[in-house]
Chain A
Amino acid sequence: MSRGIRRRFIFSTLGFAGVALAVILGAPLVGSTSIDLRRVFDSSIPVSENVDAQIFFVARLPRSLAGALVGATLASAGVIFQGLLRNPLATPFTLGISSGAALGAMLAITFGWSFAIAGITAVPLSSFAGSIGAVAIVYWLSVARQRGLSTSVLLLAGVTLNAFISALILFVQYFADFAETFRTLRWLMGDLDVSSFRPIVVALPLAVVAFAMFAMLPRALNLLSLGPDSAAARGVDIVRAQRTAFFSASLATGAAVSVGGPIGFVGIIVPHLVRLLVGSDHRIVLPASAFFGAAFLVACDTIARTIMAPVELPVGVITAVLGGPFFLWLLVRR
């Protein structure tokens, strides 16, 4: 079962990467106007006259890629947070990052902030700033009393911060007008209504940094899941590993939420399905979850924009409808 770790790693990673690639390239073919993959890549037709290619590359591919980036990021952040907190029910949003992001986004919407940096508008910028703020508060609380991170304080601080920020959001909402409230609500549902490559290009460097940090972590996460003492006794520098895990997963989550809003359940469904298929070794689970997360979210988004066509549902509604029952099943399974 555990023999040939290298072989299991290669098979699993390539397999999930193949699924992701197929879904990412397949999703843009689905939609109100049906297009043909052969025509899309037919080089005999000039691009300016190739309607299929234009729909594929300009109208639909950005959304598919954004879904892949957000899905991969949320799913891997879920793996990291579950390992860090030693809690299989943790999600990227458990520690209040999404609440901080929501507060930022809502302030930008309610007060009509209109600044932009590098073509990125106030709402995603403020949401990212809000998530950084939440991360800073939670981190400060969890290291205040001891050297290293206290995971129990992290959890409690995160849950409390979530509740507190939700109260702040309601407070500001009370003074918002109808249209602003509607926009905020829409943002909170989580949506991948991306129509250009710009958000992807801006979020990508953050994601690359986060994934490079993730790559350092799988073995340490395996050991951390035995408990901090057991990990340290086997030679893990737990303070460094916990800090790397916390900041990389938080950064990744903040970036993903600024692109797609707080799309729920991806960070818990995907890691658990992957573990059911490939076991618990983080060296295999982490890359598999990244690829499967990309495939899962792009597939959900394709359902979201076609199931009630011409109405496009926010993808967060689909992931929540699938994820809620799944989460409950996980809870009662053992």
Chain B
Amino acid sequence: MLLSASNIVFSYEERSTTLRGVSVTCAPGDFVGILGPNGSGKTTLLRALGGLIRPASGAVRLDDVGLSKLGRAAAARRIAVVPQEIHPAFDYSVIEMVLMGRYPHLGRFALESPRDFEIARAALAATGTLELEDRLFSTLSGGEKQRVVIASALAQIEGQPGSYLLLDEPTASLDLGFQLEVASVVRKLAEERRIGLVLSTHDLNLAAGLCRTLVVLKAGEVIASGPTADVLTPALIRRLYGVESEIAPHPRTGRLVVVPISREAP
């Protein structure tokens, strides 16, 4: 039931190697955070885990079957990807967006059944967006859009045991209120539905508060990985960003909080 990447090497043609032998494992119900500065390969790693790119060497496996062997639709029934932002070229309604998640479950000429609508509405309800179902996607706020896209991903992997949700910086373009909203939606999915989550983020406090395991990337290599409390240290922050910081559990929530103090002189 594991989703695992082992020794992934990948490069976009025009750039130098983006991933140099990266390994990550996620089990159902796990919550893995991928941290790292800009350009460290976070998004590329998520794309590899979702089977959207083919690594030059190394392999991504789901239940010990290589994703490339599994086939696109079969992989899509178990692994959903939520990109940073989605800009549909045409105006779709919210329910249409969510129903698109049912693509890998339907035959070529099949239309969505009442059961698919049920699944789509349940997914909207799970992300608190059911009342938006008839709105046009383009008219939603950033936080609403993000939650609808997560609902679409849920509709995609619904009913599949051992399914995974990969989120690429899900809170990057959201204000504080929406950030917390999306974070709480996502936390529930891991805890209540036993979905395996892998999330990339810049936001150290989001990662500290949400993720049980962290994988830290720098220049396409894993420089630290393990339980959040072990990995997230002032020494790591210094190494990643050249920033002095303090890390302590918050007195009220008990979650780790990273407080940046100063930028180390170069």
A: residues with CB less than 8 A from B are 1-3, 5-6, 9, 82-83, 86-88, 145-146, 215-216, 219, 222-223, 225-227, 229-230, 232-237, 275, 279-281, 283
In contact, B76 and A235 (Cβ under 8 angstroms) = yes
7 smallest A-B Cβ distances: which pairs? A235-B104, A235-B76, A280-B90, A233-B81, A235-B73, A86-B89, A225-B89
Q: How far is the CB of A80 from chain B (nearest CB, A)?
A: 13
B: residues with CB less than 8 A from A are 13, 47, 50-52, 72-73, 75-77, 79-81, 83, 86-93, 95-96, 99-101, 103-104, 106, 108-109, 111-112, 117, 133-134, 156
Given contacts A5-B112, A234-B156, contact A226 B100 (CB under 8 A): yes
In contact, B103 and A279 (Cβ under 8 angstroms) = no
Besides the known contacts A6-B111, A229-B83, 8 further A-B residue pairs in the complex with CB atoms under 8 A apart: A1-B134, A2-B95, A216-B108, A219-B103, A230-B86, A234-B101, A235-B104, A280-B90
A237 to B95, CA, bound (A): 23
The residues of A that contact B106 with a CB separation of less than 8 Å are: 219
Q: How many A-B residue pairs have CB under 8 A?
A: 90
In contact, A225 and B90 (Cβ under 8 angstroms) = yes
| Cβ-closest chain B residue relative to A146 | B13
A219 to B166, CA, bound (A): 23
Given contacts A235-B103, A235-B104, contact A83 B52 (CB under 8 A): no
A283 to B88, CA, bound (A): 16
The residues of A that contact B76 with a CB separation of less than 8 Å are: 233-235
A215 to B117, CA, bound (A): 23
In contact, A235 and B77 (Cβ under 8 angstroms) = yes
| Cβ-closest chain B residue relative to A227 | B86
Q: How far is the CB of B230 from chain A (nearest CB, A)?
A: 32
A226 to B96, CA, bound (A): 12
Given contacts A3-B117, A145-B13, contact A232 B72 (CB under 8 A): yes
A187 to B109, CA, bound (A): 40
A156 to B4, CA, bound (A): 39
A234 to B134, CA, bound (A): 22
In contact, B108 and A279 (Cβ under 8 angstroms) = no
In contact, B87 and A223 (Cβ under 8 angstroms) = no
In contact, A226 and B52 (Cβ under 8 angstroms) = no
In contact, B117 and A223 (Cβ under 8 angstroms) = no
The residues of B that contact A219 with a CB separation of less than 8 Å are: 103, 106, 108
| Cβ-closest chain A residue relative to B80 | A233
A136 to B264, CA, bound (A): 56
In contact, B100 and A234 (Cβ under 8 angstroms) = yes
A252 to B262, CA, bound (A): 63
Of B72, B77, B96, the residue contacting A236 (CB under 8 A) is B72
Q: How far is the CB of B120 from chain A (nearest CB, A)?
A: 9
In contact, A88 and B90 (Cβ under 8 angstroms) = yes
Q: 22 pairs across A/B with beta carbons < 8 Å? A: A9-B111, A83-B89, A86-B89, A87-B89, A88-B89, A145-B13, A215-B109, A219-B106, A219-B108, A225-B89, A226-B88, A229-B47, A229-B81, A230-B81, A230-B86, A232-B51, A233-B81, A234-B76, A234-B80, A234-B103, A279-B92, A281-B92
